[in-house]
A = this chain, B = another copy of it.
Amino acid sequence: MKEGPDIAQIGSLIGDPARANILTALMGGRALTATELAAAAGVTLQTASAHLAKLEAGGLLTQRKQGRHRYFTLADDRVGKLLEGIMGFAASRGHLRHRPGPKEPALRKARICYDHLAGDYGVRMLDSLIEAGSISVMGEGLSLTPGGEKHLGSIGIDVSGLRSSRRPLCRSCLDWSERRAHLAGSLGKALLSNFFDKGWARRTENSRSIFFTPEGERRFLALFPLELGEDIEQPQLDDTP
């Protein structure tokens, strides 16, 4: 009966609402202080501190002392992938938050998924890259074509530099809001950084959603066109338990 790894431990780590809020906040990709995380979780600093200690002991988080601040981040991208996987599953079972809140639409449009672009725009970008022949699909996997390397090089992505990292270049990541794949991996990260650098988009405070400037949005949509037309059906998440 008692076999294999202990999923209950990490399940219970994620299972507490306050800790889940902390992890969700850190899915934004940037390092946050204990105070910020306490606010995000809706608990006092003492409580948050206890939670952070547990999460760190569990290997989900790492902290970095900097002066009198302690910055927390997800331990690595495997944690991000794990969480996004659980989010996708939760969304598919209708485990949505009770009050969808006003930020929900912005989240669905464009958000950060640990370090790359997700949401409607993330899915569109990958779809467009595939249509253009820049990325080829094989089962669940993705790979960059020579043409794609050239194409992305022309907009300022140094693909050969990315290859030298140990991290996979292309990975697909299942999007919980769209229920379709978007682009992760070092290439996904590089593309999002590129948008930030160009001033097309920026992060928003206290949210995973990404804000596109009007000009940036225009350019993004032009760079990643879709043949099919944009009004594809949105697969609905049914929310009955």
Chain A residues proximal to chain B, CB less than 8 Å: 1-17, 19-21, 23-25, 39-42, 57-59, 78-79, 82-83, 85-97, 99, 101, 103-104, 107, 136-143, 168, 170-172, 176-177, 206-209, 241
Q: How far is the CA of A169 from the CA of B88 in the complex (A)?
A: 21
* CB-based contact A140/B13 at 8 Å: no
**The 9 A-B residue pairs with the shortest CB-CB distance in the complex, in nearest-first order:** A141-B141, A138-B138, A139-B141, A12-B15, A11-B14, A11-B15, A8-B20, A15-B15, A59-B93
Residue pairs across A and B with Cβ atoms less than 8 A apart, 5 shown, are: A2-B97, A7-B14, A58-B95, A59-B241, A139-B142
**In the complex, chain B residues whose CB is within 8 Å of the CB of A13:** 11, 15
* CB-based contact B3/A42 at 8 Å: no
Pick the contact of A208: B3, B17, B99, B172 (CB < 8 A).
Answer: B3
* CB-based contact A57/B241 at 8 Å: yes
**In the complex, chain B residues whose CB is within 8 Å of the CB of A89:** 10, 78-79, 82
